[in-house]
Amino acid sequence: MQKRHTPEEQAIEIMRGNDRGGYTVPTPGLYPYQWNWDSVFAALGFAVLDRGRAWQEIETLFQGQWADGMVPHIVFRKNDPSYFPGPDIWKSNTDPMSSGHSQPPVAASVILTLAKTGGKDDMARARRLFPKLIASHRWWHDYRDPDRTGLVGIIHPWESGRDNCPDWDIGMDRIVVPDDLGPYHRRDTDHVDADERPTVQQYDRFLTIVKFGRECGWNHRKIAAEGPFFMADPGVQFTLMRADRDLLELGRLLGEMFDEGEVEGWIELSQQGALSMWNGDIEAFVARDLRAGEFSTALTNASMLAFYAGAGTGDQLGLLAGHGREILDICEYGFPSWDPRHEAFESRRYWRGPVWSVMNYMIAIGLEEHGYAGMAERLRNDCRQLPELSGFYEYFDPLSGEGLGGPDFTWTAAIYLALGCGLDPALAKV
Ligand code: DGY
């Protein structure tokens, strides 16, 4: 009789199986390239197995960094017809080929965790990446906050990593799809049930933004000023705020000579900027259209990253914790990507309801640090229980726990492994 594999063994097999030699794909078929924040979280999982491989994952990601400092959301090393839109649609003219915008900047935070839990080699590899991290943070503050408001914008819902969250409906509704967008063949629904993916209307708008970027040669000044979409995202804002603080700590830990005042300036300004994402009607930080000023209308798992960022006032965080608790009471598994009490909630559709392990990982760190240990523990447990119950899927139904989206998913496995051995900056082992 064949021995059944433990969940840990399965997670390790997934990480190894998705390894393409120096970088991992999130899942074969659906996502056949290197994705930005997927890779950074993959590094956390690899750190449990093989420190050298963990660093290599981040190093290969930064091979895709643009001259202006941007780390693109996809690094394409070859053309794979199983994915759309591939490099020929983006036409970013970079080597290696890449997409034209970024993704939540989580690298400095994970690198700090690796540096603090490692030895001499970890410090040396962190040191080599440090100037690249500075350049990428400078890019965010410069290109995505051109008026120095302390609030960074995103130019595409894909930049948030939370592609079709109802947060973007306000900005997406304003996009006019041009007649010459042309026919295209989506590949994601060849791999995954269409009910679990963005709609056709959303895809048309996603591609309209890519067309604008491509046609202006990915001129990010122009895209931020005139592009079809520019919204503030609590996910990007809060991961950047956390990453700025972690960058400062990392620079000091490494004994690097750098302009500490510049980083301190970003931290201070972002604290101010974040306050303008507070929607008093629902008592949460939410996405906001940066052109029209309009707020999104419900609390998300990205709103809950305020703790991780250390954003907002004590009163605001108290209110947020209360609402978070109410939402968790409704769900079998937390934290949902959209408030289940809101009419737009869909428990199975991508970022319109389902639970994502990487978001839970970061939310739990913030909650733990702010004294909400019970809620933090609940979210960490859910990240371990869901794959044990349903397999290592991309995301999960918060009501039933069903695994959805891509199977054998790298970051779900990585977070499972990292939490299993306490690789978590809010817990004592780091
Ligand atoms: C996709 O293709 O769905 C990706 O999330 C875009 O990054």
Q: Give the model confidence (pLDDT) of 352-374 as tens digits.
A: 999 999 999 999 999 999 999 99
Tell me, in angstroms, the distance from the centre of ligand 1 to residue 406's CA: 12
Tell me, in angstroms, the distance from the centre of ligand 1 to residue 124's CA: 33
Per-residue pLDDT, averaged over 346-357, amounts to 97
Question: What pTM value is reported for the model?
Answer: 0.97
Q: Which atom of ligand 1 is nearest to the CA of 198?
A: 3
Tell me, in angstroms, the distance from the centre of ligand 1 to residue 34's CA: 11
- Among 158, 189, 410, which residue has the most ligand 1 atoms within 8 Å of its CB, making it the best to mutate? 158
Judge if the beta carbon of residue 163 lies within 6 A of ligand 1: yes
Indicate whether 430 pLDDT > 50: no
Q: Which atom of ligand 1 is nearest to the CA of 206?
A: 6
Judge if the beta carbon of residue 73 lies within 6 A of ligand 1: yes
Tell me, in angstroms, the distance from the centre of ligand 1 to residue 355's CA: 17
CB 197 within 8 A of CB 187: no
Judge if the beta carbon of residue 246 lies within 6 A of ligand 1: no
Give per-residue pLDDT as tens, 182-239.
899 999 999 999 999 999 999 999 999 999 999 999 999 999 999 999 999 999 999 9
Distance CA 114, CA 52 (A): 11
- Among 31, 76, 83, 351, which residue has the most ligand 1 atoms within 8 Å of its CB, making it the best to mutate? 31
Give per-residue pLDDT as tens, 285-338.
999 999 999 999 999 999 999 999 999 999 999 999 999 999 999 999 999 999
pLDDT recorded at residue 2: 62
Indicate whether 429 pLDDT > 90: no
Mind telling me the catalytic residues?
Answer: 163, 394
Tell me, in angstroms, the distance from the centre of ligand 1 to residue 30's CA: 9
pLDDT band at 422; cut points 50, 70, 90: confident
pLDDT recorded at residue 426: 73
